[in-house]
Chains A and B, each alone.
Chain A
Amino acid sequence: MPEDLHSRIALKLEAVGPSVSIGLEIKIESYFDVVRGIIDDFASKRRMNCIYITSSVPSATLNSALEALEANTEGLRFIDCVSHTMMGAIHRVDNTVFVENPSMLENIILKVEYFLRLAGDKKTVVVFDSANSFAIHNDPKMLSEFFTIILNSLKAREAYPVVLMIPDQLRVEVKEMLGMVCDVIMPIDEERQP
């Protein structure tokens, strides 16, 4: 097993395979390693597309961070649900669509569908960043319905759905809900323990 976290994440995701919804338990300090692992080590190196739905960090920030890490972002598409809420200047870029706020869950489903249609038959990883920030903006029942619909739809299309979650900061009811809607809950950082 490789030492670095981003490589380990890619191997773990590959072992699980497509059509399985994964709840990826992460720690805040390993956030960028996890993002790099999914986008660069897993999706890019296996020539897959990646749809990254962010409700926590603006897409421009993630783009800059990935650039600094020299990650390949060719097949990366962002659904940015946070930049509009910050009321700052929105930098329109080709690989990004914006949703006004993370509570417009139907619009997020439709934007995912949009990118999947443009991608055609190409395999796709779909990342939800993160369950914590979605839970801040949405009622748990609504969020449960959202994840049930979109994760089932992605599984039916042989995609790789990954929901990022920071378990220590999740309300119990949201944690239980994720346990129900995800097929696998994967605690990544435990891998570091001897």
Chain B
Amino acid sequence: MAMAREREKCVTGIEGLDNILGGGIPTNNIVLVAGSDGTGKTTLAFEFLVRGAVSGENGVLITTVESKSKLLANIPSLVFYDEKMLGKQLSIVTLKEMIDGTDKPFGKADEPAMDKIIASIEKLATGAKAKRLVIDSIDTILPDEKEDRLNTYFLTALSEMLHKHGSTAILVSKAATAESGIGSVVDGIIQMSNLERKGDLLRTMQVPKMKGTAHSRAKYVIDLTSAGVLVTTLLKGGI
């Protein structure tokens, strides 16, 4: 039987996630990190960038919701994070900053507005020599889940841009799901959830889709710590 050719991987550095993904995210993939509030989406995406910075892969974080200071204040203080990375291996910009201070760059979400955003991201990523890109959250840029045509237009353009630069992207979203329009267009989905068991709330992570790699589809329990996102198998009690 012919085996699919293994694609080059972007090793996230998050050990448990790399194990789930068979070594990392295939390079150039656009990965949706989806989940409700408090499930660890931003922390996971931030660690992806910091681990990259530590291993020599520059990263850019475009924050569309929180200010830089608030974002940094709310993330667990990672023991391998160094503030000196900021502005060098790791760039954090707000959406407003990215598009040269224009307050409402895309009052109407249409193709020209998407082109403008893509051009701004490319300029930023090129300047930072970024191999890793995070947009937190994509819901601000693609506000309407039903706008399939426009979402596809944006994600296709982003994919082409990433391919040109050999970069890998994580898009954080509270609204999108594996079944939604965006979920069907992206290359991979990491679903973050809360699992209630006898009144206890466990944070979980599951990868239902990741193009270009054989991966586990099981649900895992995670913890957000200063040593990074830790991952373990979900116990089932022999059931």
Contacts and interface: CB of A to CB of B under 8 A. Distances in A.
Q: Do A and B come from one complex?
A: yes
Interface of A: 100-101, 103-107, 109-111, 113-114, 117-118, 139, 141-142, 144-146, 149
* Chain B interface residue number, banded: 20 to 34
A106 B232 contact: yes
A8 B113 CA distance: 75
A111 B200 contact: no
Contacts of A111: 223
A104 B223 CA distance: 12
A142 B238 CA distance: 7
15 contacts: A104-B200, A104-B202, A106-B234, A107-B221, A107-B223, A110-B231, A110-B232, A114-B225, A117-B227, A117-B228, A118-B227, A139-B237, A141-B238, A142-B237, A144-B238
A110 B227 contact: no
A74 to B, nearest CB: 20
Give the top 9 A-B pairs by smallest Cβ distance, nearest first.
Answer: A142-B237, A141-B238, A110-B223, A106-B221, A117-B227, A141-B237, A109-B232, A110-B230, A114-B225
Contacts of B225: 110, 114
B117 interface: no
Interface string B215-237: 00000011101011011111111
A168 B30 CA distance: 57
Contact of A114 (B230, B233, B236, B239): B230
B237 to A, nearest CB: 4
B69 to A, nearest CB: 25
A136 to B, nearest CB: 14
A142 B200 CA distance: 15
B8 to A, nearest CB: 28
A173 to B, nearest CB: 12
Contacts of A114: 223, 225, 227, 230
A105 B234 CA distance: 9
Nearest to A142: B237
Contact of A118 (B79, B221, B236): B79
A141 B198 CA distance: 16
